[in-house]
Structure 1
Amino acid sequence: MKVLEIKVVYESDDLEKAKKEIGDVFYDFGATGLKIEEPLTHKNSLDYYRDEKEFLMVENAVSAYFPINPYSERRKIAIQNAFDEKFAEREDLVYTVEFYEYDEEDYQNSWKKYFYTQKISERFVVKPTWREYEPQDDELIIELDPGRAFGTGTHPTTSLCIKLMEKNISSNDTVIDVGTGSGILMIAAEKLGAKEIVGTDIDPMAVEVARENLALNKVDEEKAKAYAGDLVSVVQDKKFDVVVANILADVLLILLKDISKVVKKDGLVILSGIIEDKLDEMIRAIKEIGLEILEIKADKEWRAILMKNI
């Protein structure tokens, strides 16, 4: 089977920050592991002297790997665009995105040994399709396979969002997931009892993947529907009991006004994907449009916010 390697070679004033930011983009597209390459900074290794040329050729790079499938070409374009949108105007970082295809014997089976069932909140468990798992007590299972999804629930931004959802979505709620990606939040909403779920994403490939994952989790297609398009054109005048969005803070700031228009009075909004450095700016924007902040959850440098439309 052929495997796609996507490699970002970079130089930056802050190498650790750049490495993390590049990794976060890959994680948003479903990568669950990364290959890190860094040049040797000190000649304190015997290996350096054995093959100095090899060490000198090493660059700062982060790579992610994806099985090649019918979505691969569009995935390449989407990932290239994501890096360009995030870094093209940055003066502190220079980068190139490189693509490689190669054969790996029995890749379809060998890569599976690295992925395990993970509990990401009090109730939700994310399970690869080939793993066996018996739910405990009131656990809820979401099946997602790495490589088929934009986000598999293990990233802090997704788990933070789901932790707030499981405490605040009730039976018969209507829910909209803005920037649905893999559809994982739509699946979670259905398992929490929401009676109607809508997902929107401006990326048609993400919508295809979301629909595939909804079907994989046996979500009724009449109950949960994913649409390609921006929030306003998809929703028009409809309002929802709960609005969820797990997107980067800069995008949330742009969408915040539209999001506030599609939540019912006394309805809830859950926003995640907010890096700690952007939290104060996000709080100011939320207060300006009249939403009441009820809770802020943290995981490492990421934040998620629960608010109410008063």
Structure 2
Amino acid sequence: MKVVEIKVIFDSDNIEKTQKEIGDIFYSFGATGLKMDEPLKEKNPLNFYKDEKQFLMVDYAISAYFPLNPYSERRNKIIAEKFEEVFGEREDMIYSIDFYEYEEEDYQNNWKKYLYPEKVSAKFVVKPTWREYEPEEGELLIELDPGRAFGTGSHPTTSLCLKIMEENIKEGDSVIDVGTGSGILMVAAQRLGASEVYGTDIDELAVESAKENLALNKIEDAKVYLGDLISVVKDKKFDVVVANILADVLLLLLKDISRVVKKDGLVVFSGIIEDKLPLLEKEVRGLGLEILEVKADKEWRAMLIRA
């Protein structure tokens, strides 16, 4: 199987802000990890022998990786159009976008040397399948396929979500992950003792990825569905509803999510950029829901809500 690398090379008046904007676009299309390239700030000649490619690098770049399938050409076109929509008329940055195809084995081997088990919250350790790791007392292990989803746990939106989940999910809870992506939050819910675990996603590729990662973690009874939230679960209600999606999407799904959480149940929102937090808080309270906690990591926010 092949994968597609979508690489954006850019220069900007505000590198950090532009990196975040590019990353947000990739995440909105279901990317579960990014590769960032930056030129060395101090080009000591000795570094040439350590990493010739990085020494010669003069541009900033961000890459996202997606499986190659019959929808790839259309997806690439839509992503390119989104970058043109956001950055085409901007005077504070310039960019180019390139597409590359790799055999999945080559892609995975290229990343293997950089990826190690990573503790992403108080309890959870995420590890690539080829690394050995013996969990310490109290740690919960999640294995992810590196070619499709590894790296998600380290992003602030996911780690914030995991931190709230591990503090609030109880043994026997029913949990649904809306927009499940890689399935990492479904695995986490099962590890925390949830008796029923559901996941939904409107992206066929995400559903496939989630099923693979559930199998990797030997989880057989979780249910992953392709489709929107309401049509999938119908009249079922859950103790905990989790959604790690961008704030604009959370606003669209808010009413549907409020219908599938039990009375006094919990909702965990993540993927909220700081600027969007006040609007989302207003809409949440407008539905009669109670905000119990807001966690922060850099510019990202996650919210714990009670129905």
TM-score range, shorter chain: 0.7 to 0.9
Whole-angstrom CA distance in 2 between matches of 1:113 and 1:89 = 34
What is the match of residue 49 of structure 2?
none
Larger displacement relative to structure 2 (201-210 or 91-100): 91-100
CA change 1:81–1:178 in 2 (3 A) is farther
Alignment of 1:59-98 (within 5 A): 62-64=61-63, 66=65, 71=68, 74=71, 77-78=74-75, 81-82=78-79, 84-85=81-82, 88=85, 92=90, 97-98=97-98
Paired residue total = 291
- Aligned 8 A contact 1:74 1:205 in 2: no
Alignment of 1:82-231 (within 5 A): 82=79, 84-85=81-82, 88=85, 92=90, 97-101=97-101, 108-149=108-149, 152-220=152-220, 223-231=221-229
Over the aligned positions, Cα root-mean-square deviation in angstroms equals 3.2
Whole-angstrom CA distance in 2 between matches of 1:303 and 1:142 = 23
Whole-angstrom CA distance in 1 between matches of 2:104 and 2:179 = 33
CA change 1:150–1:81 in 2 (3 A) is farther
Larger displacement relative to structure 2 (73-82 or 163-172): 73-82
Whole-angstrom CA distance in 2 between matches of 1:85 and 1:265 = 39
Whole-angstrom CA distance in 1 between matches of 2:117 and 2:259 = 37
Task: Give 1:17 deviation, angstroms.
Answer: 1.9
Task: Give 1:147 deviation, angstroms.
Answer: 2.6
- Aligned 8 A contact 1:31 1:146 in 2: no
- Aligned 8 A contact 1:146 1:152 in 2: no
CA change 1:193–1:59 in 2 (3 A) is same
CA deviation profile, 1:194-250 (whole Å, cap 9, x unmatched): 111111111011100000100010002xx3111111111111111100000000001
What is the match of residue 268 of structure 1?
266
CA change 1:305–1:103 in 2 (3 A) is closer
Larger displacement relative to structure 2 (170-179 or 14-23): 14-23
Task: Give 1:97 deviation, angstroms.
Answer: 3.3
CA change 1:208–1:150 in 2 (3 A) is farther
Provide the secondary structure at the position in 2 that maps to 1:114.
Answer: coil
Whole-angstrom CA distance in 2 between matches of 1:195 and 1:139 = 19
- Aligned 8 A contact 1:249 1:274 in 2: yes
- Aligned 8 A contact 1:32 1:146 in 2: no
- Aligned 8 A contact 1:173 1:193 in 2: yes
Whole-angstrom CA distance in 2 between matches of 1:278 and 1:181 = 22
Whole-angstrom CA distance in 2 between matches of 1:188 and 1:167 = 12
Aligned partner of 1:183: which letter? Answer: G
CA change 1:258–1:4 in 2 (3 A) is closer
What is the match of residue 232 of structure 2?
234
Task: Give 1:280 deviation, angstroms.
Answer: 0.7
- Aligned 8 A contact 1:9 1:59 in 2: no
CA change 1:60–1:261 in 2 (3 A) is farther
Aligned partner of 2:162: which letter? Answer: I
- Aligned 8 A contact 2:22 2:62 in 1: no
Whole-angstrom CA distance in 2 between matches of 1:215 and 1:2 = 21
Whole-angstrom CA distance in 1 between matches of 2:84 and 2:289 = 31
Among 33, 42, 48, the alignment partner of 2:35 is 33
CA deviation profile, 1:75-114 (whole Å, cap 9, x unmatched): 5654653564576266547765321236899664343110
Task: Give 1:171 deviation, angstroms.
Answer: 1.1
CA change 1:260–1:6 in 2 (3 A) is same
Unpaired runs of 5+ in structure 2?
46-56
CA change 1:106–1:227 in 2 (3 A) is closer
What is the match of residue 253 of structure 1?
251
CA change 1:242–1:107 in 2 (3 A) is closer
Instruction: Among all aligned residue pairs of Structure 1 and Structure 2, give the percentage whose two residues are the same amino acid.
Output: 60
- Aligned 8 A contact 1:80 1:97 in 2: no
